[in-house]
Structures are given as C-alpha cells and as structure tokens.
Amino acid sequence: MPVFEKLSREFDPAKVHFIGINTTYQDDITQMQQFVRDNDLTFTIALDIEGQSSQTYQIQALPTTFLLDQRKVIRTMVLGGPVSEAWLRAEIHRILQAPR
Amino acid sequence: MFPVIQIGPLSLQTPGIILLLGLWLALWISEKLYSYRTQTFGIYYDLVLVALIAGILGARLGYAAKNSSVFLQTPSALIIPSPQMLDLPSGMMFAALAALVYGNRRGLRFWPTLDQLTPAASIFALALHLADLASGNAYGAPTSVLWCIPLWGECRHPTQVYAFLLALGITAVILRSMRETWPNGMRFWTFLALTALARLIIEPFRGDSVTWFHFRQAQIIAWAVLALSLHQIGRCLQTTPKEQDHDPSG
C-alpha cells in the first residue's frame, strides 16, 4: 500500500489514476476509513460490499494488481504481493509511452 | 482462470507450476525420442540449464536496461526476486548466446542440436498456453460465440485454448518429423514457421493486442518470422543429403 500511495503522489493524476478496492467481506466502511486514515492514503479507495468487483475480476488472491491502459485494456496483472515499487513505476512508464 | 492453488496457508502460483512441469515433460519426452539414436542426451539437460540461468539473468538485465531511469533510482531492485521484472526478448537473446557458447565448447553442431531440441520447444509451448489459461494472460476479445469463456465481466474468446490446440497440431507435426530424415535445420524452421502462422491466426481474437500505428505488433513480428522461416526452409530443401547430419554430438 505505501508503494501505491507514493506513486499516486508522484504521477500526474490526469495521466495515471490509482484505485484501491477493498474486497475483504469482513471489513465495513468504518474499518476501511480508519485504515485509510492510519495509512494516510490519498488515492481513491472503494469498498466492494457485494463482492461485485471480486467476481468480475475473478480475484483469487489478495492483493491482486491490475494495470489498465488508456483504453481500459488490462495490460498486466500481479497476483499476490508485495508489489515492487520499481516494477510498478517501470510498468506505468511503459504503458504511458506505448503508442495508442 | 485458475491462477492459484491453495493448500492450507500455502498459495502456489498455478502458471509457474505448469511451466516447470512443462519443461520437465518436454525434456523427458525429447530424451525418450533421442535415446533411439544415441545415449548422450544428458548434455542437452546441461545446455538447457545453462540457457535457462543465462536467460533469467539476461531477462532481468534487459528489463533494467529498458527501464534504466527506474533502476538507476533504485539499483537494489535489480536483485528483487520478482518474476514480473523480466524482459522476454533480452532473456531469449542471452539464453541463445549462452547455449551457443556452451554448445561450441562441448562440440555440439548447431543445426542438428536445434533440430534435436525442437520437440522439447514444441511441447513446452503447450505448457506455455496452459499457463496463460491458468493466469488469464493472453486473453481473448469479447464475443458471443457459444464456446466463449467468462473473464473480467465479459464473455471472451478462449484464445489460450485456440493457441493450445494449434500448438498441439504443431507438436504432432514435429514429433512425426522425428521418424523421417529431414535436412539439418528444417525441423527448427518448420516449428518456427508454424508457430508464427498460429500467432497470425490467433492474434485477431486476442483482447490484449498491442498496436503499432493501428497494426497489431505481434502480427507484424509473426509475418517477419514466417517470411524468414519459409526462406530458410527453402534453403534447407536445397541441401544435398551429404551435408545432412543427425548426430549433433557428431
């Protein structure tokens, strides 16, 4: 999570959008808000109450990271964590630089 | 999609397991095929191991070189054991170079060696497509065909299954060729030509194609590989029987 927070502050929000989705059904909105405050997260965090995104994206491991390009095509995904900062930064650069 | 096998608290990445099993199976079957001719297949295990290690190192170095600004910022990332930070073309180049140097030192002849390892490559390709099916990589475009598979909220072409079936056909051709006497290098180039052709067929059904100025990148590369392979097959067919050799360790 700190990696995502760091890079969300580093990249231009007009070009790169970070969205975190809490798919843990045990959590409620209060716990999630507390988590956001505790970790000082500034990017968008959603709570998947009905498990819709987990079902749509067929999440089988937590965390699962998807990187989508400007056309919302999934370019890469990583099952499990932690996600390396170098990898995330490199992949974002690659997607931004790819011809459309 | 079946990316993870959960055994108690242990999460195993299915694609990785499939690839390892695929590699073992590919070499094992090749050894069985090879044992009809000579008993020295062990040298190929060494060759593949050398190529594999060099390939992984090269893939990481290639990835770092392509993303030099990131790695200069955090040089320690170079040694992070992350399978994502690998560049396939660089890995293949390093693996090929290492195999070439090792093969030369061990006195292996180039084309017969490639021909001998071609069945292993075609069997490994099967594992590669199964691994893609397990991970969800190389996924298909949305469709309404009866045999579509639901993935990420849409019904999609099972492109990994298409690729697997075509690879199965290619493997059948390659394994059958082992019974016949083909000119040196022809088995390898045939495998490459058929693989490029398969990619040309599958690419329009893919949902993750990268485009270069409205052309699918993979198809452009596949056309080039196909043209080169056909040219080389033509050259192989002109080879006189005297120039042929079927014992790579000769």
Q: Which DSSP string corresponds to A38-90?
A: HTT--SEEEE-TTSHHHHHTT--SSSEEEEE-TT--EEEEEESSPPPHHHHHH
Of A79, A85, A93, the CB nearest to B13: A79
Taking all residues of chain B, what is their mean pLDDT, rounded to a whole number? 88
Write down the ipTM of this complex.
Answer: 0.71
Distances (CA, A) of B133 to A69, B1, B15, B47, B80: 22, 6, 8, 29, 26
Q: What is the pLDDT of residue A100?
A: 60
| CA distance to partner chain A, nearest, from residue B229 (Å) | 28
Last residue of a domain, one of B60, B78, B108: B108
pTM (global) more than 0.95: no
**Are B99 and B139 found together in one domain?**
no
Touching B: A residues 40-79, CB under 8 Å:
56-58, 60-61, 73-79
Q: What is the pLDDT of residue B250?
A: 47
Inspect the interface and report whether the beta carbons of A93 and B69 lie closer than 8 Å. yes
Test mutation, A79, A92, A94, A96, chain B, max B CBs within 10 A: A79
For residue B117 the two structure tokens come to: 């390892």
**Are B153 and B63 found together in one domain?**
no
**Are B139 and B48 found together in one domain?**
no
Domain A2-97 has CATH 3.30.450.40: no
pLDDT at A81 over 90: no
Residues from chain B contacting residue A6 (CB–CB below 8 Å): none
**Are B20 and B2 found together in one domain?**
yes
Please state the domain extents for chain A. Answer: 2-97
Tens of pLDDT, residue by residue over A27-54, are 788 888 888 899 889 999 988 888 888 8
**Are B19 and B104 found together in one domain?**
no
**Are B157 and B217 found together in one domain?**
yes
Total domain count for chain B? Answer: 2
Last residue of a domain, one of B108, B126, B155: B108
- Compute the distance between CA of residue B96 and CA of residue B73 in angstroms, rounded to an integer: 30
**Are B63 and B168 found together in one domain?**
no
- Compute the distance between CA of residue A34 and CA of residue A40 in angstroms, rounded to an integer: 10
Collect the ranges in chain B with pLDDT lower than 70: 35-39, 240-250
Inspect the interface and report whether the beta carbons of A56 and B213 lie closer than 8 Å. no
| CA distance to partner chain B, nearest, from residue A89 (Å) | 7
**Are B91 and B156 found together in one domain?**
no
Q: What is the pLDDT of residue B130?
A: 95
Q: What is the pLDDT of residue A49?
A: 83
- Compute the distance between CA of residue B244 and CA of residue B246 in angstroms, rounded to an integer: 7
**Are B10 and B77 found together in one domain?**
no
- Compute the distance between CA of residue A63 and CA of residue A21 in angstroms, rounded to an integer: 10
**Are B205 and B103 found together in one domain?**
no
Q: What is the pLDDT of residue A58?
A: 79
**Inter-residue contact A83 to A65 (CB < 8 Å):** yes
Q: What is the pLDDT of residue B187?
A: 95
Distances (CA, A) of B214 to A53, A76, B210, B217, B218: 31, 21, 9, 9, 12
Residue B59: CB atoms within 10 Å: 22
For residue B8 the two structure tokens come to: 């108690």
Inspect the interface and report whether the beta carbons of B13 and A99 lie closer than 8 Å. no
Residue span of the structural domain in which B172 resides: 1-36+117-250
Of A56, A79, A86, the CB nearest to B4: A79
- Compute the distance between CA of residue B29 and CA of residue B120 in angstroms, rounded to an integer: 7
B45 touches A at CB < 8 Å: no
**Are B213 and B233 found together in one domain?**
yes
Inspect the interface and report whether the beta carbons of A58 and B80 lie closer than 8 Å. no
Asked if the bond preceding A63 is cis, omega within 30° of 0, the reply is yes
Tens of pLDDT, residue by residue over B180-207, are 889 999 999 999 999 999 999 999 999 8
Residues from chain A contacting residue B151 (CB–CB below 8 Å): 58
Over range A67-79, report the average pLDDT. 86
Q: What is the pLDDT of residue B53?
A: 95
HEC letters along B111-167: HHHHHHHHHHHHHHHHHHHHHHHHHCCCCECECCCCCCEEECCEEECCHHHHHHHHH
B81 touches A at CB < 8 Å: no
Last residue of a domain, one of B62, B87, B108: B108
